[in-house]
Amino acid sequence: MTVDFNGIGQGQVNSKTSANTGKAATPAPEAPQEQAKAQATRSDSVSLSSQARDLKKLEERLDSYPEVDDARVEQIKAALADGSYKIDAEQLAQKMLDMDNSIFG
């Protein structure tokens, strides 16, 4: 099924046309030596802002830290096991309110 939008047929989509001839424009072929020379002289470069460099350094520092503080986990497990782990309900509630406030304003 062919759909014609505003007089554009299937053969006319995505084709470059010359204003004078109405035919598809074709680029002039280059010699292989000219292509190689053009690629050799072309160089890509990337320049990072100071903020990007700082973020990269921070990322590297964070990668050096362990994901989980194993010592703290063992300390909490031991406190739970012997019943000495106490939760301050008011402090917990305040932190929950602070987090809610930071998310929803």
Is 71 among the domain residues? yes
Is 38 among the domain residues? no
Flag whether the pTM goes above 0.85: no
Is 73 among the domain residues? yes
**Span 8-52, pLDDT tens digits:** 555 555 555 545 555 555 555 566 677 666 666 677 777 778 898
Is 78 among the domain residues? yes
**Span 68-78, pLDDT tens digits:** 999 999 999 99
Is 30 among the domain residues? no
Is 14 among the domain residues? no
> For residues 62-100, b (16+ Cβ closer than 10 Å) or e, as one string?
eeeeeeeeeeeeeeeeeeeeeeeeeeeeeeeeeeeeeee
Is 66 among the domain residues? yes
Residue-number span of the structural domain to which 66 is assigned: 51-104
What is the total count of domains within the chain? Answer: 1
